[in-house]
Amino acid sequence: MKRSRILLSAVAFFGYVAATLAQSFPGKAVTLVVGFAPGGGVDTTARLLAPKLAEYLGQPVVVENRPGAASNIANERVAKAAPDGRTLLVTTPAVAINMALHKNGPLDTLRDLTPVSMVSSSPNILVVSPSSPINDVQELIALARAKPGTLNYSSAGSGTTPHLCGELFKLRTGIDVVHVPYSGNAPSLAALIAGDVDLSFATIPAVLPYLKAGRLRALASTGDKRSELIPDVPTLKEAEVSGMSVNVWYGLFAPAATPPEVVEDLASAVIKAVHAPDFKQHLLDQGEEPVGNTPAAFARFLREEIAKWSEVVRLTGIRVD
């Protein structure tokens, strides 16, 4: 009986939240702008999120793809939109990395966008070929120190999270491995499987099919804790490499100057969405772990991300054309 009362209370609460959001939110369609082509991870997540937001906000929600310029086309589209909660950005760590890579870029994320809520997060995975003689992280570090500059790692491209993850790994361990950029996760991992490179950093959605098929072997994850999706894979912290918390996250942003009450309404809708069993399962099926945090918590996290990647760029001298 007690469990039934708790369940009924939860249902009533979420019903009240949905009704409140529908009444208070602006009365026009909401557009989720995605800075990447259709079919990718962030696009898929945005299209799964759209009907949930529509349900909770009581307004139609559509997805608009604006790929190009390292997602800056979409970022600027939202930054210049009216701050009324009707034009929103669903994006990735690119909004923080771009700030680090382009000090004088056209967009200042902290000035021009308002963090609403993080939708999901997923660590990067350090992987090698099954035929690799490297069995764990400490063996990798020892080999790289014994033969500096002879090992190489692939990434999804210069300036991507896997690239900066690899550079951060080099900084934290003091090793010298050579970066080999590819145009996406698929060719990066294909090169690893073919033996063209020695190791790679990539997201869980990218590596999971290869891990299940035995075509790649995971050494460690960059998460703060082990992932529910690959619980047998230790974190880099467990392998005695500290300061390597690197996640690929998808988050919702509004234009700067969006009224706080609208931002809070949007965040409430995201939080409710990530707690919905069907949406949560969709995220897990894609290799993403649901988050759903407050605007204040997301803003703190964003500032930490920008500071972290700015340090990596400064210390390594990374440049992206």
Residue-wise pLDDT for 185-235, tens only, equals 899 999 999 999 999 999 898 999 999 999 999 999 999 999 988 999 999
Are 29 and 61 contacting, i.e. CB atoms less than 8 angstroms apart? yes
SS3 293: coil
Asked if residue 141 lies in contact with residue 173, where contact means CB atoms within 8 angstroms, the answer is: yes
Look at residues 163, 310, 142, 320 and name the one whose alpha carbon lies nearest to residue 239. Answer: 142
**Which pLDDT does position 20 carry in this prediction?**
45
How large is the average pLDDT for residues 21-44? 81
E strand intervals along 15-100: 30-34, 61-65, 87-91
Mean pLDDT computed over 10-21:
44
Where in the sequence of the chain do the CATH 3.40.190.10 domains occur?
Answer: 123-221
Rounded to whole angstroms, how far apart are CA atoms 262 and 254?
9
Fold category of 2-121+248-316 in CATH: D-Maltodextrin-Binding Protein; domain 2 (3.40.190)
Asked if pLDDT for residue 285 goes beyond 70, the answer is yes
- When the pLDDT of each residue in the chain is averaged and rounded to a whole number, the result is 90
What is the tens place of the pLDDT at every residue in 79-124? 999 999 999 999 999 999 988 888 777 789 999 999 999 999 999 9
**Quick one: pLDDT at residue 231?**
94
pLDDT on residue 321: 59
CATH superfamily of 123-221: Periplasmic binding protein-like II (3.40.190.10)
What are the start and end residues of each CATH 3.40.190.150 domain in the chain?
A: 2-121+248-316
pLDDT at 3 over 60: no
Quick one: residue 130, left, alpha or beta (phi over 0 = left, psi -120 to 50 = alpha)? Answer: alpha
Alpha carbons within 13 A on the beta-carbon side of 53: 28
CA pair distance 125, 189, nearest whole angstrom: 12
